Amino acid sequence: MILALESAVIAHGLPRPLNIKVAVELERMAKQMGCDPKTIGIVNGKIRVGMSTSEIREMGKRDDVLKVGTRDIPVAVALKRWGATTVSATMRIAHDMGIKVFATGGIGGVHPGNNWDVSQDILELAQTNMIVVSAGAKSILDLKRTMEALETFQVTVIGYKTEEFPAFYTRSSGIRIQRIDSLDKIVKMFRTKERFDIPGAILVCNPIPEEHEIPGDEFESWKEKALAEAREKGIEGKDLTPFLLKRIMELSNGKALEANISLLKNNVRLGCEIAKKMEV
């Protein structure tokens, strides 16, 4: 009953010192639910599938940690760097170790604008067969185009007790998806994919708890301001998402941060429930 966890949230997702506290708390939660959490990261060029608490604390304090997608794994290893794995890299490493369930916050996707700015997460979700639990895609993205990309690359997208693709901080996006209320059916879907060797992940979309949801119009005002600042500063590519998330947390006076932590915990709970069903 192993549950994979990413390390990008430690180095690039949450502010210090809360980043370390939350990472340790997520592991503690998983253990209390009877799961074996494995936070994945790269330590001095060595891939860790199950970082120690001391390694998590060190990563959370360092300023030189690389943000590692799938393509960056060999770079971090060869250069003996510290690397925080995103959704794509965590999936690839976890799958290589036989781990079948991974809980994260939100996946990357297609960014707004006319530039071709698409997260490596999409391609990894398209080819790596595992169950990924998330609160949909990050709200800073173009969610309609993100969903279209997921469909194009044949990623199986389902909503756990919801008919709408959740938008990270917000429970709804207006984008319809297949609703599944049963954990047993999620496991059966995964077993069927395995049987017929169908590539790609099952993306289980788990909406943020209602009590911590941020109204869409309120979030949009923060997002537009953060995007304008990013354009002024020339921030783009893999640096854009961390900048936007950090700036939105600042603009929201902590409201977005509280929501982020809530959805992370919610996804770990569901991830553990699915992992335990996989063992039955």
Q: Is the pLDDT of residue 55 over 90?
A: yes
Provide the mean pLDDT of the chain. 95
Asked if 238 is an active-site residue, the reply is: no
DSSP string, 86-116: -HHHHHHHHHHTT--EEE-S-B--BPSSSS-
Residues β-bridged to residue 222: none
pLDDT digits (tens, 9 = 90+) for 237-246: 778 877 888 8
Q: Is the confidence at residue 231, as pLDDT, over 90?
A: no
CATH superfamily assigned to domain 2-278 = Indigoidine synthase domain (3.40.1790.10)
Out of 6, 55, 124, 213, pick the active-site residue.
Answer: 6
Whether pLDDT at 56 is above 90: yes
What per-residue confidence (pLDDT) applies to 119? 93
- Cβ count near 61 (within 10 Å): 14
Neighbours of 153 (CB within 10 A): 15
Q: Is 138 marked active-site?
A: yes
Q: What is the CA radius of gyration of the chain?
A: 17
**pTM for the full model?**
0.94
| The pLDDT value given to residue 220 | 87
Question: pLDDT band at residue 27, thresholds of 50, 70 and 90?
Answer: very high
The catalytic residue among 100, 138, 193, 277 is: 138
pLDDT score for 249 = 86
Least trusted range by pLDDT, from 71-75, 161-165, 215-219: 215-219
Whole-angstrom distance, CA of residue 1 vs CA of residue 23: 19
